[in-house]
Every structure is written in C-alpha cells, then in structure tokens.
Amino acid sequence: MRKEENRTEIVEKNKKINKAVSKKNKGKLKRKILRGLVYLVLIMFALSLFFLLAFGVYKLFTSSRYNIGVITVEGNVNYTVDEIKEVSEIVIGTNINKLSKNKVEKKLETLPYVENAKVVRKYPETVLIKIQEYVSSFVALNVETNEYIRLTEKGVILEKCTADEIAEELVLFGIHFDDNLGEKIVELEQKKLKNLLDIMDKYSKAGIDKKITSVEFKEGDIILTLDYNMDVILDLYDVEYKLNLLKNILNELNGKIGTIDMTIENPIFTENIK
C-alpha cells in the first residue's frame, strides 16, 4: 500500500514539473514570436523607407522640374558670361543633380585669370557659377619672344599683351619665362618678384613721391626707373636705409634726371646730358 502511495506522489510530482516546464517553454516561445514580429515590422519599415528614398532619388534625377534652365555667373571681370558658360560645358536641359560640380570647377580653373571657381546648385533649375580672378600686378617683357606678359604678384602668368595695351602698369625687364599661361614662373624668377615687392613696400614707407614706372633685374642688382627718367641702381643690402637716403638725394637734385648708383657706400649721381 505504501508503495502505491509513493508511486502516486511521484507521478503527481512529475506532472507538476512537466506542467511548469511546459508553461515556461510556452513563455519563451511567445517571447520569440514577439521578437520575430518586431524584427519583421522593423525590416518592413526599413524596406519601405528604402523604397521611398529610392523613389525620391529617382524623381530627383528624372523629373523635368529639376532640369537646368538658368546659368548665372558672378565675379567675372576678364571673361564674358558667354565665355564662362562655354568653358563650363553645362548643358541647358540637363538634370541639375547629374551636374558634376567638381568637373565644372576644374574646367573653369584652366582659364589663366581664374584663381578659383565655385559651382552652386540653386533648386529647382538654376546653376550659379562664382568666379574669383587673379589681379594683374606687373607686365614683363619676354626677351626670347619679344612679347609682353601680364603677371600676378606671385608670378602666375595671365596673358600676353602688346606694348600699345600697356597703360599705367609697372613694366619688368629681366624676367625669364619657361612656363605656360595659367602657371607660375620658375622659383628663381618668383624670388625676384618677392624681392621687388619688399622693395616697393619700403619705397612707399620712405615717402618718395616719384612713381616707379619700370624695373630691370640685372646681374643681381635691381634698377628702378622713376617717372620714366630717373634710374636708381639698388642691391638687396640694407634696402630700407638706402631708400630713405634716396629720398634726400632726390630732394637735393631738384628735378635733375640721370642715374643714381645706390650699391656703393657713397651713392653717385650721373646726370643725363641732353
């Protein structure tokens, strides 16, 4: 009898254990199903969002509403709007989103006077081209070709010009050219310009009222021509002192014209005899 009771207790105990395990498994299953549904919803949402974005991009690249209809240009001085448009190769009617701004900017920067170009999309149909141009600081004679070349102060070669086209620009002699338009002159020649700019700055600070009209670089010296009729020979030693001294010498000469040699300790003036 006792054995029967023990068997019954064991069976009941096993039933309770099986019931608890079954309940726990069902709970796990429900949680798995719930997580699966959440993942499915997220995947469906992500796919929907992807297709919406894809459709939006498709419309941006195909809708005629975004075709280029207007090209505007700002900052151009040496080039006409039509010249800028031609070099940019932007085609009216092209979808604005297919425009490669980087390629257009590089094309425009091949123009000698263009220092920087920036292309801006202005939706829905306008392209704005912003141009920043170099400024011509000097005109230099290329003795090899007997042509005049306009340069920036850093030695970027801008364009060729004739003697008749030179106005009030400072003319340089003794600069050598081995470069193409839009490129810089060689480093040695750039150094000449740098030295000249330093001299011009000190010349201005010295308060000399005569205008430098031309400059010649000759065997390490720099010859300044003032008001077309006075030559001043300088070297690069103690420039500031020499230019202050030059001011006093010019005042003492009282309008005489000729050549002043400032490369020696005691400057010498040689008057031009008519």
CATH number of domain containing 172? 3.40.50
Q: Is residue 92 predicted with pLDDT exceeding 90?
A: yes
How are the residues of the chain apportioned to helix, strand and coil, as percentages rounded to the nearest 5? 45, 25, 30
Same domain, 180 and 226: yes
Closest CA to 108 of 137, 79, 136, 135: 79
Assess whether 97 and 172 both reside in one domain.
no
Examine the pLDDT at 109 and tell me if it is beyond 80: yes
Query: Final residue of a domain: which of 81, 111, 133?
Result: 133
Domain span holding position 199:
138-271
What is the 8-class DSSP label of residue 66? G
Give the C-alpha separation, 15 to 72, whole Å.
86
Which of 133, 167, 193 is a domain's end point?
Answer: 133
In this structure, the answer to whether residues 142 and 266 fall within a common structural domain is yes
Does 116 lie in the same domain as 7?
no
Boundary (domain end) residue, out of 62, 82, 102: 62
What is the predicted pLDDT for the residue at 131?
Answer: 97
Name which residue leads in pLDDT, 176 or 60.
Answer: 176
Query: Judging by beta carbons within 10 Å of its beta carbon (0-12, 13-18, 19+), is residue 36 exposed, middle or buried?
Result: exposed
pLDDT tens, residue by residue, 158-205: 999 999 999 889 999 999 887 777 788 888 899 999 999 999 999 999
% pLDDT > 90, the chain: 65
Regarding whether 237 and 196 lie in a shared domain, the answer is yes
- The reply to whether 148 and 266 lie within a common domain is yes
- Residue 32, pLDDT > 80, answer no
| Judgement on whether residues 17 and 85 belong to the same structural domain of the protein | no
* Same structural domain, 153 and 259: yes
What pLDDT, on the 0 to 100 scale, is given for residue 4?
A: 56
In the structure encoding, which two tokens stand for residue 252, read together? 């003492």
Examine the domain organization and report whether 1 and 108 are in the same domain.
no
* Average predicted confidence (pLDDT) for the chain: 86
Query: Residue 107's domain is classified under what CATH number?
Result: 3.10.20.310
pLDDT digits (tens, 9 = 90+) for 69-86: 999 999 999 999 999 999
Encoded tokens for 37: 């549904």
What residues contact 128, with CB distance under 8 A and at least 6 apart? 72, 73, 74, 119, 120, 121, 122
Work out how many domains the chain is built from and give that number. Answer: 3
Q: Are 149 and 125 part of one and the same domain?
A: no
pLDDT tens, 117-128?
Answer: 999 999 999 999
